[in-house]
Chains A and B, each alone.
Chain A
């Protein structure tokens, strides 16, 4: 089985978010980057499936050179090789185009990625890739088993779960508990440096550019008002919060 896992390199969840260049660029200074948490689960499941069924796992990142530590960590976790499309991941369509371009040449049985990245959280790349390749896509996938050329999938739906089957090839957006979260072991880390990491140039150009980022307004202090003073609350909502 040939599996492609698409991963993002995203700021650590505790990172302090700020911008530079007139609020048009994210300020990377002092920020630690991690593998997108959902992508991490997708990769873990890919490695487990490889252990069960044999085959190869390729990691793909659309991003700049500073994403390579995250890519090498994926190799340490158990991917066999990696591809980095050397460009800024400007928008979902552009990223999906890059992925589809590679997938079209390589004929993967499974293309896995997180249900969404945790930086821009669009959650549409899997759908776009599938559309571009003309194959089905499903998300968010919480459970995935392969029998022959059939995937048995459990998907989260509003208020419940859906169990379904689909034929390979597929594009899947994944989330926990699809696999056990993996920590790279020493052997993996030591072998990561010997695994191929191919850098290729992108096709086409991004369709969007960022005019300005804005942070949400800081949270105000919380005022507690006793239940018996409901009138005071009304006054405050009118005079201070100005929402009434």
Chain B
């Protein structure tokens, strides 16, 4: 394992204005033997227990099978990885729990049940519970004796989660809250023993969270939802009719529920990102295998350039998303370590550590879920007619992928959030955005710098490209903020553009840094394929940055300003052309030869 140097000097969102040294980032190659063994246990569990039963899971008449699988996962300890040892878990760090999420990510409906339980179901108690609540509930959740669900969404409160109407009223004797209301889309609803329920006390404006045991009474449900995908995952509408919750089961502070929801979702988002990386790798394996076996015109279809292009793109995108995930995961771990070292209590440190990287969590969720959708789509295409057959695996993959762009905050909400948080932090002076944007504003008015750098090292030219991508974002964001001021929030189209630019930058930079670090450890010759991947990704990221930048600029600038900014954008999205076709072929060849994900 290589050392990750100079930890924790990075703050969330600072990637926009700071250059990061390759030695500072964590790469998946840095995982220890023990972490890899943990991941292998998850993969083996899916392979032996889940994959042979996918149809059975999806078409089950009741939830018995899902419960049985969750129990088995519990016996292996898969439900307690993030829970401290004193509460019956294994106290693993954040990046390890990301790796577990990835390794468990290819289990379709089962993966959703597992992540809802370990994530949104368990974490509110872990991070916001008081000592009694933690001691009472966490060991049961860690072992899987109890299964958990999370009840935030309501028929009229989805993205606008804080607008929920569910009410909690103190009983006359002051011992209970009486909860009344309706929740919707509740994952694991059909078999959960414990519900995290968000409701408003009396006439409160904001939500309060409660730990509700199924046996408290007053809980009824509709039938299972009929869904496009993840059909085996239990999803229910749940009604609370005078559900009596002991006052000691209020979680955290009164009206502190929205904060819980937001912070738990941060964690859910980045873990979803690593889970879809796991799912993607599995799908690539299947698609490549099919391409190798399927013969047309007298040869395997994997010999056709059009198919190779697809295989390469699938591989590159996952490699890139993975690079970004674990870079951010380690940043979170480092931030947690720092907070712990400065005396912050453990749960608080973990929360604050993740919150610090809320921007990255939201961006990675968007990127990962859209990559998976790209991959299942190409997977179907590689399978041809068989891709459309419900007898072949791409059908399920295609349907199951789609939910990832909707839950844990829709991708629109996450795009808004990532840009919104950057702006908010810039206003507070936490990220030094405006001075940097002003610099760029000056730069585009000046004569372009045509000097050729005589710097030596790995990826000198590419790092300049990354620097320029940052400038492109700063230019667009700076100008848009100046133009719209307080009304910036209403310019969602521009915000979407900016979010895309930020995402592409972060992922391209992470990939480049990962490969640079690999090259310094293993030498250039051993990393040729990874280098191809980083460059292919960088080229497409630059192109997307250019497109998004253009559509943003043209939507608010005019005349000279428009011209200057378009010139600036052109300058900031310049990249030396290379033969990407050959690079893609090289990656495809390896994937085809290995009959699996190439890296």
> Chain A: residues with CB nearer than 8 A to chain B?
14, 16, 69, 72-73, 76, 181, 183-187, 189-190, 192-193
List B residues at the A interface (Cβ < 8 Å): 33-34, 36-38, 41, 44-45, 48, 75-78, 80-81, 90, 593-595
Q: Is the pair B90, A73 in contact by a Cβ cutoff of 8 Å?
A: no
Give the residue of A16, A181, A193 whose beta carbon is less than 8 angstroms from that of B593: A16
Given A185-B76, A186-B78, A186-B90, decide whether A72 and B594 contact each other with a Cβ distance below 8 A: no
CB-CB nearest 8 A-B residue pairs? A186-B77, A185-B76, A183-B44, A185-B77, A186-B90, A69-B33, A189-B37, A183-B41
A183 partner residues in chain B, CB cutoff 8 A: 41, 44-45, 48, 76
Q: Considering residues B36, B48, B81, B90, which has the most beta carbons from chain A within 10 angstroms of its beta carbon?
A: B90
Chain B residues with CB below 8 A from A192, complex form? 34, 37
Across the interface, which residues of B come within 8 angstroms of A181, CB to CB?
48
Q: Which of B38, B45, B78, B593 has the most CB of A within 10 A?
A: B38
Inter-chain CA distance A186–B75, complex, in Å, is: 9
Q: Which residue of A lies closest to B49 (CB)?
A: A183
> Chain A: interface secondary structure?
helix
Q: In the complex the two chains form, what is the Cα distance from A181 to B44 in whole Å? A: 11
Q: Would you mind naming 6 contact pairs between A and B with Cβ atoms under 8 Å apart?
A: A16-B593, A69-B36, A184-B37, A189-B37, A189-B41, A192-B34
- Among B33, B36, B81, B595, point to the contact of A186 (Cβ < 8 A): B81
Specify the chain A residue showing the minimal Cβ separation from B35.
Answer: A189
CA–CA, A174 and B45, complex, Å = 23
Write the nearest CB–CB distance from B80 to chain A, whole angstroms: 7
| Interchain CA distance A243-B595 in the complex, whole Å | 33
Q: Are B37 and A73 in contact (CB under 8 A)?
A: yes
Residues in A whose Cβ lies below 8 Å from that of B76: 183, 185-186
Partner of B34, one of A16, A187, A189: A189
Contacts A16-B593, A16-B594, A190-B90 known; A185 to B75 CB distance under 8 Å?
Answer: yes
A52 → chain B closest CB, angstroms: 18
B contact residues around A189 at 8 Å (CB): 34, 37-38, 41
Report the separation of the CA atoms of residues A184 and B76 in the bound assembly, to the nearest whole angstrom. Answer: 7
CB distance from A217 to the nearest CB of B (A): 19
> Can you add 18 more A-B contacts, CB < 8 Å, to A72-B37, A189-B41?
A16-B593, A16-B594, A69-B33, A69-B36, A69-B37, A183-B41, A183-B44, A183-B45, A183-B76, A184-B37, A184-B41, A185-B41, A186-B41, A186-B76, A186-B77, A186-B81, A190-B34, A190-B90
Q: Contact between A193 and B34 (Cβ–Cβ < 8 Å)?
A: yes
How distant is A61 from chain B, measured CB to nearest CB, in Å?
Answer: 15
In the complex with contacts A16-B594, A185-B75, A186-B76, A72-B41 CB distance below 8 A: no
A185–B40 Cα gap in the complex (Å)? 10
The complex places the Cα of A190 from the Cα of B36 at a distance, in Å, of: 12
- Could you tell me the distance in whole angstroms from the C-beta of B467 to the nearest C-beta in chain A? 34
Taking a contact as CB atoms under 8 Å apart, the answer to whether A187 and B41 are in contact is no
Question: Given A14, A16, A76, A187, which contacts B37 in the complex, CB threshold below 8 Å?
Answer: A76
A-chain residues with CB within 8 Å of residue B595 when the two chains form the complex: 14
The answer to whether A72 and B80 touch (CB under 8 A), given A183-B48, A186-B90, is no
Bound together, the chains give a CA A73 to CA B78 distance in angstroms of: 17
- A64→B34 CA distance, assembly (Å): 19
User: In the bound complex, what is the Cα–Cα distance between A190 and B77 (angstroms)?
Assistant: 11
CB distance from A71 to the nearest CB of B (A): 11
CB within 8 Å for A186 and B44 given contacts A14-B595, A16-B593, A16-B594: no
Given A16-B594, A181-B48, A183-B48, decide whether A72 and B33 contact each other with a Cβ distance below 8 A: yes
User: B38 contacts A186, CB within 8 Å?
Assistant: yes
Q: Which of A76, A189, A193 has the most CB of B within 10 A?
A: A189
In the bound complex, residues from chain A placing their C-beta under 8 Å from that of B77 are 185-187
Distance in angstroms from B122 CB to nearest chain A CB is: 15
- Chain B residues near A76 (CB-CB < 8 A): 37
Distance between Cα atoms of A187 and B594 in the complex (Å): 33
Cβ contacts under 8 Å, A69 to chain B: 33, 36-37
Question: For the complex, what is the distance from the CA of A227 to the CA of B513, rounded to whole Å?
Answer: 61
Closest to A184 in B: B41
Contacts of B38 on A, CB cut-off 8 Å? 186, 189
Q: Smallest distance from the beta carbon of B234 to chain A beta carbons, Å? A: 25
Q: Which residues of A contact B41 (CB under 8 A)?
A: 183-186, 189
**A189, B32: Cα distance in complex, Å:** 12
- Chain B residue numbers with a CB within 8 Å of A72 are 33-34, 37
Residue of A nearest to B38 (CB): A189
Residues of B within 8 A of A16 (CB): 593-594
Q: In the complex, what distance in Å separates the CA atom of A69 from the CA atom of B302?
A: 35
C-alpha gap A193/B80 in the complex (Å):
19
Q: How far is the CB of A2 from the nearest CB of chain B, in Å?
A: 26
A192 to B77 CA separation, bound complex (whole angstroms): 15
Measured in the bound complex, the distance between the Cα atoms of B221 and A78 in whole Å is 43
Per the bound structure, the CA–CA distance linking A187 and B37 in Å amounts to 12
Shortest beta-carbon distance, A1 to chain B, in Å?
A: 25
Closest Cβ of chain B to A51, distance in Å, is 14
Minimum CB–CB distance from A138 to chain B (whole Å) comes to 28
A73 to B33, CA, bound (A): 10
